[in-house]
Amino acid sequence: MANLFFRLFFTSRPFLQTQNHILERLTNMKTLIRLLPAVLSFVFLSFELTLAGAPPLQWQKTFGGNTEEEAFSVQQTTEGGYIIAGWTRSYGAGDWDVYLVKTDSAGNMLWQKTFGGSDADIGWSVQQTSDGGYIIAGTTLSYGAGTVYLIKTDPNGNSEWEKTFGGSLSFEEGHSVQQTSDDGYIIAGSTSYFRYDVPTSDIYLIKTDSNGNMQWQETFSFGVGLKYRDYGRSVQQTSDGGYIIAGSTYYYTGPLNYLYPDGEYIIAGFTLSYGAGGYDVYLIKTDPNGNSQWQKTFGASNTDVGRSVQQTSDGGYIIAGYTESYGAGDSDVYLIKTDPNGNSQWQKTFGGSEYEYGGSVQQTTDDGYIIAGYTSSYGAGSADVYLIKTDPNGNMPWQKTYGGSDNDCALSVQQTTDGGYIIAGHTRSYGADEWSDVYLIKLCSDGTLSADLNCNNSVNFEDLAILADQWLQPPGILSADMAPEPGDGIVNFLDFAVLAEDWLETTTP
């Protein structure tokens, strides 16, 4: 009986597949080990390679069901885990519901919650609050014709209260929320409405108390009249107690033809343009009561959009978005640094010959910046997660892509307490089905050698084993894909050369 079991088990298909994989891995390792001295000598004696400096991938996770999910916001929580907000069509009561996911520090789901009614409801922004709970801002069609949706939860994601803001004849969105120094909340978004039957929109800023009761609201437009369209996408309380808001503005240059008999307006034709350009990045600074102190625009002849803003350690501001006016491709990531008065100090673009988008920016502990978005110029798929690191002057030490053969994008990034990065967005390359799932990526501490694939501050045979396991595998997220920058989706001799140089760096006195 024992011999029969032995023959059945060790000749079974699963075992043979595992055995073949092990033999293939050992063969790869033996080949690479034989080549290692030559590669080390070549790297050491010949030249210093120009290598990707991105920290290694620590882990990646997907969350979702049998239809669609997307994430728009992520934050590390006080105990080291992560909170993610977005929308889901797999769970909940309606067509789309607000989707809130809590994970531990390793990205394992602790719980998930949905909020909303029978129609479409989206969560755009989330932040942990001072009591350990969470505040979510979004948009609801279940409770109104399209209104700002504000949800406060306890630490376990259970709703404590929900509020809506907006009018019955307009459409409002809440794209960004932050708890303020008085324990209230500031929300930025947009309000869209018809003025004389002509569609228009303004930036919408709402201040509430700690219970979500409105204290004041303000709207902002770069100009007065029917031709202006303005959208708010990001808000932060500033060190003086006021607020900084980033978004976009554009202006119709075409004619509006008036039909006086019935009081209506017809748009006979228009081009998207403000001054010399279409959409422009729009930056607004207010006092603590929401009164505008100054407004600035940035951009040129085409579309330029601001998606994220943060006050920097010198009192100025950093804005990320995308531009079609500058750069190398159809659109590029757009990074703008201003002084405390909103005057541009420098502007940078990042990307290749196709489309790039910047969705989120944060100042890092070294006074540089981390930007997350997506790219169609680089990577393994039609669109990939795009992560860019800059120094304090906007110069790029490294860039990196993540994703598979389909569409993958990032809309939120934060530096974590261990010096690494957490990135949230959505993926169509991985997950439970062919639809999009929430995509969460964690990188090791910035400064970790690229070839330190298990993030243990050493490059050795363990990292070589990881590289061997991924050798010439199909394109996708491969932690050993280190070169060329920002990644080509495959592990080959270029990556082996990176490992060889990093090995030298950790072993040479």
**Local mean pLDDT, 10-residue blocks, the chain (509 residues):** 34 40 49 53 42 82 94 98 97 92 98 96 97 97 91 98 88 95 96 70 94 96 65 94 92 46 27 51 94 92 92 96 92 97 97 95 98 93 93 96 91 97 95 87 93 88 86 75 80 82 71
Question: Residue 21: what pLDDT?
Answer: 47
57-455 has which fold? Neuraminidase (2.120.10)
Q: Which residue from 68, 133, 76, 137 is spatially nearest to 103, judged by alpha carbons? A: 76
Give the start-to-end residue ranges of the domains of the chain: 29-55+456-509, 57-455
Alpha-carbon distances, residue 508 vs 79, 456, 481 (angstroms): 38, 18, 24
How many helices (H) and strands (E) the chain has is answered by 4, 30
> For residue 221, which phi and psi values (nearest 5 degrees)?
-140, 145
| Strand partners for 384 | 375
Q: Which residue from 53, 54, 33 is spatially nearest to 465, judged by alpha carbons? A: 33
**Beta strand 408-415 pairing with 421-427:** antiparallel
Peptide bond between residue 484 and the one before it cis (omega within 30 degrees of 0) = yes
> For residue 378, which phi and psi values (nearest 5 degrees)?
-125, 170
Question: Residue 496: what pLDDT?
Answer: 79
End-to-end CA distance of the chain: 58
The H or E element that residue 8 is part of is: helix 2-10
Q: CA 7, CA 67: separation in Å to the nearest integer? A: 43
How many other C-beta atoms are found inside a 10 Å radius of the C-beta of residue 80? 12
Task: Classify 192 as helix, strand or coil.
Answer: strand
CA atoms within 13 A on the CB side of 244: 23
Q: Which residue from 161, 226, 221, 163 is spatially nearest to 191, judged by alpha carbons? A: 221
Would you give the distance in Å from CA 134 to the centre of its chain? 19
Alpha-carbon distances, residue 308 vs 68, 236, 297, 317 (angstroms): 25, 10, 14, 10
Amino acid, single-letter form, for residue 115: F
461-469 vs 13-45: helix crossing angle, rounded to 10: 120
Task: Classify 492 as helix, strand or coil.
Answer: coil
pTM, rounded to two decimals: 0.85
Per-residue 3-state assignment (H helix, E strand, C coil) for 140-170 = ECCCCCCEEEEEEECCCCCEEEEEEECCCCE
Task: For residue 117, count CB atoms less than 10 angstroms from its CB and return exposed for 0-12, middle for 13-18, buried for 19 or more.
Answer: middle
